[in-house]
């Protein structure tokens, strides 16, 4: 039973922490991609294209087995957290950027005509409008991230899927065990979906 709890809590912790990390990094990258400085835009584009175009599993294996080779060894949980957060940040950045792009360009021009600086126009005009439009795309990413944490089980983290596999190894009842694990994921994902609806209504 403690194994189930350990797996469940690890999955929740990995989901919450990696999503928080992904939002922070994703926000930075999104800003890089929209600032009117070509060099910074280039950096943002490279980040997104490199991170999202290599499978998460490859990143996890590279981080877990590659980083110690160059002298950087973190506990497995934090290694998985770093890889998942940096990977999902690319998707978050694109969701945020498309949210900003969805605000009509006239809005930005009007803000500038009123004498607002780039930062002020972002802060007071663009981001509040973009914010509510990105709630659902971000919820999609959060749910995908929840499912993606199962890959951490491959590199030694005892998440819910790994715990289910261990239990099944003894019980030999895969249908039962994995239906149970699936229901746990369903509850988590449904919670995210519910939170997103509440947040969307608040921002509207």
Partner 1 sequence: MGRLFVAAVLLFVAGCSGGGSAVPGGSKIDALLAKAPVYTGQVTPGSAVDRIKKRGRLLIGGSQDAPLLSQLDPVTGELTGFDAYLGKLLAHYLVGKADTEVLSATSETREPLLANGTVDVIIQTYTITPQRAERVSFAGPYYESGQAIAVRKGTSGIAKPADLAGKTVIVGANTPGVKAVRDAAPTAKIVEFGSDPECLTALKQGRGEAYVQDQAILVADASKDSELQLVGEPFTEDPYGIGIKHGDAEFTKVVNDWLREIGKSGVWQDVWKQTIGTVVTGDAPAPPAIAS
Is 74 a binder of partner 1 (CB under 8 A)? no
Using DSSP, state whether 36 is helix, strand or coil. coil
The distance of closest approach from Cβ of residue 164 to partner 1 in the complex, given in angstroms and rounded to an integer, is 8
The distance of closest approach from Cβ of residue 165 to partner 1 in the complex, given in angstroms and rounded to an integer, is 6
Is 166 a binder of partner 1 (CB under 8 A)? yes
The distance of closest approach from Cβ of residue 203 to partner 1 in the complex, given in angstroms and rounded to an integer, is 42
Place of tokens 């080779």: 69
Q: What string marks each residue from 22 to 61 as x (binds partner 1 by CB under 8 A) or -?
A: ---------------------------------------x
Q: Which is nearer to partner 1, 38 or 71 (CB)?
A: 71
- The conformational region for residue 156 under phi > 0 = left, psi -120 to 50 = alpha, else beta, is left
The distance of closest approach from Cβ of residue 102 to partner 1 in the complex, given in angstroms and rounded to an integer, is 39
**CB neighbourhood size of 91 (10 A):** 20
Question: Using CA atoms, how far apart are residues 28 and 127, in angstroms rounded to an integer?
Answer: 14
Is 170 a binder of partner 1 (CB under 8 A)? yes
Q: Which is nearer to partner 1, 10 or 121 (CB)?
A: 10
- Where in 132-161 is the site for partner 1 (CB under 8 A)? 153-156, 158
Question: Using CA atoms, how far apart are residues 83 and 72, in angstroms rounded to an integer?
Answer: 14
DSSP secondary structure letters along 111-180: HHHTT--HHHHIIIIIHHHHHHHTHHHHHHHHHHHHHHGGGGGGGT---HHHHHHHHHHHH--HHHHHHH
Is 169 a binder of partner 1 (CB under 8 A)? yes
The token duo for 24 is 């922070």
Residues within the interface to partner 1 (CB under 8 A)? 61, 64-65, 68-69, 73, 76, 153-156, 158, 162, 165-166, 168-175, 178
């Amino acid at each position: 039973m403690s194994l189930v709890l350990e797996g469940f809590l690890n999955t929740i912790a990995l989901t919450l922490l990696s999503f928080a990390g992904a939002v922070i990094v994703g926000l930075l990258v999104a800003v890089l991609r929209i600032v009117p400085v070509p060099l910074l835009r280039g950096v943002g584009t490279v980040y997104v294209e490199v991170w999202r175009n290599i499978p998460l599993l490859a990143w996890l294996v590279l981080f877990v087995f590659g980083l110690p080779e160059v002298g950087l060894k973190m506990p497995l949980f934090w290694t998985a957290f770093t890889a998942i957060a940096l990977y999902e940040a690319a998707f978050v950045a694109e969701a945020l950027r498309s949210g900003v792009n969805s605000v009509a360009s006239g809005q930005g021009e009007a803000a500038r005509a009123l004498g607002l600086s780039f930062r002020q126009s972002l802060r007071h005009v663009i981001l509040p409008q973009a914010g509510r439009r990105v709630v659902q795309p971000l919820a999609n990413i959060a749910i995908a991230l929840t499912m993606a944490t199962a890959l951490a089980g491959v590199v030694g983290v005892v998440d819910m899927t790994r715990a289910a596999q261990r239990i099944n190894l003894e019980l030999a009842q895969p249908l039962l065990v994995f239906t149970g694990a699936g229901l746990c994921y369903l509850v988590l994902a449904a919670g995210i979906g519910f939170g997103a609806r509440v947040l969307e209504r608040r921002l509207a």
